[in-house]
């Protein structure tokens, strides 16, 4: 993966890179039983504010510098608004109003937006293999998350989808999931600008605290019975989602996003629904259909294509250079001898 990390300094770099997406996927499984017994904005704030406190404690223990100056705090506040409050708010409200599968497809399609923003802002090279990988990834997560009936009907020429059906589709929360995906994509790109003025670990902690406060504030006014119906097992699930699915996952993700290829890092988001499906199968006895297994395979291929695109592009350039470079006169003379 094209991230500026030394393998000798970080012997477990590959596992750490995958860890945020593993934790997000398993946190989604843990949250499935919690959503019906709580409210969306309270749950969104729970994913952020306590996790932000834990990250700040870790930053102090790691002797990370705290943000200083108006520029640092303005970028952190903007980061908190977009990647914290808006992303988690849209995500929580969307999960209540849409199916988990369709919501997962929409939220995990954000690597496309990250790739376009990175191309525009940082001139990141994507290339043929990168675009092919992104396309395969979107198709793969669609096969994973969408109902098999929808996919089969898509290839049935005799099925016509009416305008009313499309309106029903996007009136039930899908727009919120798309807005959540866009917020996450903008937040992923924004960390580069935030890190010009603040340490990425400290900035991640503060943005989660500042993003969680308005969510809990709105929840206290607009929602009721936020925690009264939660059982002990559900508090444990919330704890896992907060500590592992937020504090550790976001801390690692934005640390890696502060340098290296955002397109490559963001492409690993395609792995999130795979982990969610696999652990749903192990823990909740959910069964994968043949189409979903095809989607898993396509998604893994897409991640491989995206993260190998620069190596393959470099090899192609070297081959072209060798073919177009005329032989050396000394070599020609030695051959004739």
- pLDDT tens-digit readout, 291-317: 777 877 777 787 777 666 666 555 555
Whether the predicted model's global pTM rises above the 0.75 cut: no
User: Is there a domain that residue 1 lies in?
Assistant: no
User: Is there a domain that residue 3 lies in?
Assistant: no
Give residue 91's pLDDT.
Answer: 83
Tell me the pLDDT band of 147, cut-offs 50, 70 and 90.
low
∠ Cα 153 174 134 (to 5°)? 70
User: Is there a domain that residue 4 lies in?
Assistant: no
User: Measured between alpha carbons, how far is 100 from 280 in angstroms, rounded to an integer?
Assistant: 12
User: Is there a domain that residue 68 lies in?
Assistant: yes
Supply 324's token pair. Answer: 């177009």
User: Is there a domain that residue 330 lies in?
Assistant: yes
Give residue 3's pLDDT.
Answer: 46
Answer yes or no: is pLDDT of 146 > 50: yes
User: Is there a domain that residue 264 lies in?
Assistant: yes
76-111 per-position pLDDT tens digit: 999 999 999 999 888 888 777 765 555 566 666 677
Residue-range definition of the domain harbouring residue 54: 13-336
Domain count, the chain: 1
187-229 per-position pLDDT tens digit: 888 888 998 999 989 999 999 999 999 999 999 999 988 899 8
User: Is there a domain that residue 252 lies in?
Assistant: yes
User: Is there a domain that residue 8 lies in?
Assistant: no
């Amino acid at each position: 993966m094209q991230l500026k990390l030394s393998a000798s300094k970080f012997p477990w770099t590959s596992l750490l890179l995958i860890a945020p997406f593993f934790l997000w996927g398993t946190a989604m499984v843990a949250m499935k039983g919690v959503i019906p017994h709580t409210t969306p904005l309270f749950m969104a704030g729970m994913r952020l504010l306590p996790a932000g406190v834990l990250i700040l404690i870790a930053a102090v223990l790691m002797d990370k510098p705290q943000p200083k100056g108006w520029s640092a705090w303005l970028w952190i506040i903007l980061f908190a608004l977009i990647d914290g409050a808006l992303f988690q708010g849209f995500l929580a409200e969307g999960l209540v109003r849409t199916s988990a599968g369709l919501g997962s497809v929409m939220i995990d399609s954000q690597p496309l937006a990250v790739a376009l923003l990175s191309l525009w802002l940082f001139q990141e090279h994507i290339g043929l293999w990168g675009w092919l990988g992104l396309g395969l990834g979107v198709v793969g997560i669609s096969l994973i998350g969408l109902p098999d009936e929808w996919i089969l009907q898509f290839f049935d020429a005799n099925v016509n989808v009416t305008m009313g059906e499309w309106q029903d589709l996007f009136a039930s929360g899908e727009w919120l999931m798309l807005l959540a995906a866009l917020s996450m994509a903008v937040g992923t790109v924004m960390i580069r600008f935030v890190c010009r003025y603040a340490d990425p670990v400290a900035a991640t902690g503060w943005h989660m605290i500042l993003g969680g406060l308005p969510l809990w504030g709105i929840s206290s006014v607009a929602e009721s019975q936020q925690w009264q119906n939660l059982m002990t097992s559900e508090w444990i699930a919330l704890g896992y989602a907060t500590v592992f699915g937020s504090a550790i996952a976001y801390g690692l993700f934005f640390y890696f996003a502060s340098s290296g290829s955002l397109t490559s890092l963001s492409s690993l988001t395609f792995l999130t629904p795979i982990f969610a499906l696999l652990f749903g199968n192990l823990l909740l006895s959910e069964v994968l259909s043949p189409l979903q297994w095809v989607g898993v395979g396509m998604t893994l291929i897409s991640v491989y294509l995206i993260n190998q695109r620069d190596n393959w592009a470099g090899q192609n350039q070297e081959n072209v250079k060798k073919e177009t470079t005329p032989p050396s006169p000394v070599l020609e003379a030695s051959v004739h001898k």
